[in-house]
Amino acid sequence: MTKEDKRKHILDTAEKMFAAFGYEGASTRQLASEAGVNMAMLNYYFGSKESLLQAVLERRIAGMRNQLEEAKEVNASAWEKLNRALEIYLNRVSANNSFHRIIYREISLNQRSTLSYFLSENVFRNVQTIMDIIREGIQDSSFRKVDVEMTAASILGTIYYLLNSEQVAARLLDTDFQDQAAVDTEIKPRIKKFLHDYLQAYLMHHDSEKQ
């Protein structure tokens, strides 16, 4: 196994451990044992538990950022780009729900200032891509002149609230959020349709505005 393969294996293992036990609950000895490496090797690759968490989260955030940037650069209308970006966000958050909880917990608690700053900067870059698409639509007059920042906050707030407040959302939508099949076949399509209809009504020009 090459150094890169070994590093990836440690990251894959740490990802599962952090998702299962959280940052505080996953000890470095547990992480090393699960990955089949000794503490010296774990420290060699990452130096500290915080650096390991940062590497795990950076990989997740970078993956989403690359997909969002690709959606932003496709040869399509701003409306089509926005819908692609929303689907990317929805798919990745629902598939990696535990990690998005860790991300926002770290940002909100601000207990590890260096990590919190890193996360907030990188998460904002992803949000910025969505705002860029909305601004593009406003600039080419396909969208109304709306509050771009509040629009982005409304989009992400809907997704994160429903997928990260499972007990309340389960009662609100009368669906078992522990059932991944139900999330995939019922919740995700419902969120997607709501956001599509909401944004279409909010962003698109009304007939009265064209007169």
Q: Which pLDDT belongs to residue 85?
A: 94
- The 8-class DSSP code of residue 187 comes to I
**DSSP 3-state percent helix, strand, coil across the chain (nearest 5):** 85, 0, 15
CATH code for the part of the protein at 1-47: 1.10.10.60
Cα distances from 210 to residues 85, 141, 170, in angstroms, run 28, 12, 41
pLDDT the model gives residue 151: 96
- Name residues whose C-beta falls within 8 Å of residue 108's C-beta, 6 or more positions apart in sequence: none
pLDDT score for 82: 96
For every one of its 211 residues, what pLDDT tens digit does the chain have, with 9 covering 90 and above? 788 888 989 998 988 888 778 778 889 999 999 999 999 999 899 988 888 988 888 887 888 889 999 999 999 999 999 999 999 988 887 776 666 666 766 666 666 667 777 777 888 888 999 999 999 999 999 999 999 999 999 998 898 888 777 788 889 989 887 787 888 888 889 999 999 999 999 999 876 555 4
pLDDT of 105: 66
The pLDDT of residue 138 = 97
- Structurally, what CATH architecture does the domain formed by 57-210 represent? Orthogonal Bundle (1.10)
Give the model's pLDDT for residue 90: 86
- Position 211 scores a pLDDT of 43
Instruction: Quickly tell me which residue has 């407040």 as its tokens.
Output: 165
Residue among 60, 91, 94 nearest 166 (CA): 94
Say which residue the tokens 């906050």 belong to.
153
* pTM, rounded to two decimals: 0.78
Q: Give the three-state DSSP class for 210.
A: helix
Judge if 1-47 and 57-210 fold alike in CATH terms: no
Give the 3-state secondary structure of residue 140.
Answer: coil
Domain boundaries, the chain: 1-47, 57-210
Rg (CA), the chain: 20
pLDDT, position 159? 86
Note whether 35 and 10 are within 8 A (CB): yes
